[in-house]
Amino acid sequence: MKKLLSSVVLLFLGSMTTVHADLGYVNLKRCLEESDLGKKETEELEVMKQQFLKNAEKIEEELTSIYNKLQDEDYMESLSEAASEELRKKFEDLSGEYNAYQSQYYQSINQSNVKRIQKLIQEVKIAAESVRLKEKLEAILNEEAVLAIAPDSDKTTEIIAILNESFKKQN
């Protein structure tokens, strides 16, 4: 019992000693928005979105045109039974194509966004390690994981500078 009590006291005293760790943090959102790499990745995503939207707009215009014809009673009465059935079928097929295209759009945008963020995180990890070694820090954390820390622990600007330097070398 005495040994257990002394072990607990030693453990308690040992846990009371403070460990000073030099830490830094990085704001990933700022890295994405302000670094040349992040800007390029965002620009490429926007170009991709615009291409998809242009194509979707063409399909929407065609759908609207066919829909308006289907709603025009005089026009529909002037068509033969086969022609009106063909127009309805074309509308259904185009609607299905449009829905599939939208699904493909969202899937492609999400995949591109995930790849873009993964690529940026990989580059931030490399830059953060460089800053950590240079400034002799124990760790650099993601700002979102930090509840409270001194403002001078923010290493985002230094990391963005390294990202930009690396980006210029690669391009």
Amino acid 93: pLDDT: 96
Domain annotation covers residue 105: yes
* Single-letter residue type at 99: N
Residue 59 lies in a domain: yes
Q: Which residues are paired to 25 by β-bridges?
A: 141, 154
| Residue 20: predicted pLDDT | 54
Secondary element (H or E) of residue 9: helix 2-16
Question: What pLDDT score does 12 carry?
Answer: 44
pTM for this one?
0.71
- The residue segments making up the domain with residue 133 are 21-170
What pLDDT is recorded for position 7? Answer: 44
Low-confidence ranges of the chain (pLDDT < 70): 1-21
Q: Residue 171's pLDDT is what?
A: 82
How far is residue 128's CA from residue 139's CA, in Å, rounded to a whole number? 9
Query: How many structural domains compose the chain?
Result: 1
- 13 domain residue, yes or no: no
Q: 57-93 pLDDT, tens per residue?
A: 999 999 999 999 999 999 999 989 999 999 999 999 9
